[in-house]
């Protein structure tokens, strides 16, 4: 059992497994790194962050060893910052500095003002298994998502490489290290509300530098016939219903195998045209968090797609940590026609579901 300390959400402290320790080290490390960099760029007073983990465990007497590993990870990242056009600290951060950075990630959001939303490792199982995961950062102003960034370390730049990535690459990389420039490199996607454009670039240049000149605009698929469309759904069954989405897919004529990937990589897949539909219908008692969707929503919308709840209303990011008022589920589509077909199918099927 892993420790989850999410604004009081979930169980209290529990013994950490090695997998849980690794996951939390990454979560806290990413939060501290992003928090420090945002503060350095915009000033301490201007940065408010809604994020998944708090500092309670790290600050406790039992968290000393874990804190040391987080501090080491953060300094290891920040020393590379100049390669990406950012500033490194003048000296290594200490435990106090890291804890202070994490404590800035305690905003609870709301309808007024400006705050960032961060999911440091979205897709925990994907990360642990070397599969798909994402680092998601969004900026919200007065309840509206205005900027979204998705870092997808295991999501290759080219669609034709996608099918090989998990089955072939992980096997071959154990035999021989990948060559420079090979398709194992991930990508970063980003969009600003109102620009009508979304962009993608390699996560890391072959020489360790961001390759801004290799960035390119991405657009959703032009497929509107359900027979040719592909839908994404979560890998995990714990918080979503595969049987209901499978029934919907059949009812609207979807025949392709679903693309099941961890994390907000699903949003990236739709934004760049690798799939056309994402459906998620949570099981009873599960509440969606804003950090699981904010960045992906604005990227799909600016790439030409549509994202609403199952009632056709925009997702509401103005009501705190949760997506309160969500009507049944979340539907993201590459175009309005497919989106309307899914909405109609949900209305026709919902009363017979067990959700």
User: What are the catalytic residues?
Assistant: 27, 124
Distance CA 303, CA 147 (A): 13
Binding site, annotated residues? 52, 119, 122, 292
User: What residues contact 45, with CB distance under 8 A and at least 6 apart?
Assistant: none
Question: What residues does 202 pair with on adjacent strands?
Answer: 187
DSSP state of 353: S
Question: Under a CB-based contact definition with an 8 Å cutoff, are residues 311 and 327 in contact?
Answer: yes
How does DSSP assign 48-97, residue by residue? -EEES--SHHHHSGGGHHHHHHHHHHHHHHHTTGGGGT-PPPSS---HHH
Q: Which of 332, 162, 302 is nearest to 234 (CA)?
A: 332
Q: What phi and psi, each to the nearest 5 degrees, are found at residue 310?
A: -75, -5
Distance CA 274, CA 231 (A): 9
Binding site, annotated residues for Mg(2+)? 52, 119, 122, 292
First to last CA, the chain: 26
DSSP state of 322: B
Question: What residues does 231 pair with on adjacent strands?
Answer: 277
Can you tell me which residue has the tokens 């907000």?
Answer: 264
């Amino acid at each position: 059992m892993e420790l989850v300390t999410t604004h009081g959400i979930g169980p209290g402290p529990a013994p950490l497994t090695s997998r849980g320790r690794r996951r939390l080290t990454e979560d806290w490390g990413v939060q501290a790194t992003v928090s420090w960099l945002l503060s350095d760029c915009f000033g301490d007073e201007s940065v408010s962050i809604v994020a998944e983990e708090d500092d309670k465990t790290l600050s406790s007497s039992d968290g000393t060893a874990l804190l040391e590993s987080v501090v080491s990870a953060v300094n290891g990242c920040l020393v590379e910052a100049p390669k990406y056009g950012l500033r490194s600290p003048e000296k290594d951060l200490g435990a106090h500095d890291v804890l202070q950075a994490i404590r800035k990630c305690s905003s609870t959001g709301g309808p007024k003002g400006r705050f960032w939303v961060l999911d440091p490792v979205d897709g925990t199982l994907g990360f642990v298994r070397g599969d798909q995961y994402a680092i998601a950062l969004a900026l919200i102003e007065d309840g509206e998502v205005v900027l979204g960034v998705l870092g997808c370390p295991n999501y290759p730049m080219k669609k034709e490489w996608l099918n090989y990535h998990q089955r072939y690459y992980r096997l071959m990389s154990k035999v021989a290290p990948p060559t420079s420039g090979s398709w194992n490199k991930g990508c970063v996607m980003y969009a600003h509300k109102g620009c009508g454009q979304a962009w993608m670039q390699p996560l890391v240049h072959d020489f360790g530098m961001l390759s801004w000149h290799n960035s390119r605009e991405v657009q959703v698929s032009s497929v509107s016939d359900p027979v040719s469309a592909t839908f994404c759904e979560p890998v995990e069954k714990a918080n979503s219903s595969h049987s209901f989405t499978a029934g919907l897919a059949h009812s609207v004529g979807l025949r392709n195998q679903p693309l099941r990937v961890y994390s907000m990589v699903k949003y990236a897949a739709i934004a760049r045209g690798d799939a056309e539909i994402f459906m998620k219908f949570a099981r009873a008692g599960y509440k969606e968090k804003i950090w699981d969707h904010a960045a992906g929503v604005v990227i799909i919308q600016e790439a030409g797609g549509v994202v609403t709840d199952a009632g056709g209303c925009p997702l509401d990011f103005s009501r705190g940590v949760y997506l309160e008022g969500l009507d049944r589920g979340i539907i993201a589509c590459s175009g309005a026609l497919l989106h309307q077909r899914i909405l109609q199918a949900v209305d026709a099927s919902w009363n017979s579901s067990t959700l």
